[in-house]
Amino acid sequence: MPNVIRNIGKIIPSRDQHPTEKPVALPAWFIRLHTAPGETILDPFAGSGTTGRAAKDLGRRAILVEMEERFCEMAARRMAQEVLPFAAAQNARREAK
């Protein structure tokens, strides 16, 4: 099994970020390994919503729990961002040119 953590860059948070924010690639790797599309992920310490964002990007549902309101709002903004299928994203780039 490859060491996934060595292949993922570090995030050094600014004051407006969660203090322990992780790259989306980290929870995405574990989500792909342990779940199938359509399954539900539970993150009881959601922080800024990185695990939820990864789950949504991979076609999973997510239940996020966070006790600090400012991080709940941050996670809600991340989850509100839409994920385009790869072909749709390519077409949008072509049309923009």
pLDDT at 39 over 80: yes
Rounded to an integer, the average pLDDT of 54-77 is 92
Quick check: 38 pLDDT over 80?
yes
Q: What is the pTM of this model?
A: 0.68
Distance CA 52, CA 63 (A): 7
Q: 3-state DSSP call for residue 54?
A: helix
d(CA 13, CA 74): 14
Q: From CA 19, how far away is CA 34, in angstroms rounded?
A: 26
Q: Which domains are assigned to the chain?
A: 4-96 (3.40.50.150)
The 3-state DSSP class for residue 74 equals helix
What is the pLDDT confidence band of residue 40, given thresholds at 50, 70 and 90?
A: very high
Answer whether residue 18 shows pLDDT above 80.
Answer: no
Assess contact for 64 and 40: CB atoms under 8 A: no
Question: What is the overall mean pLDDT for the chain?
Answer: 81
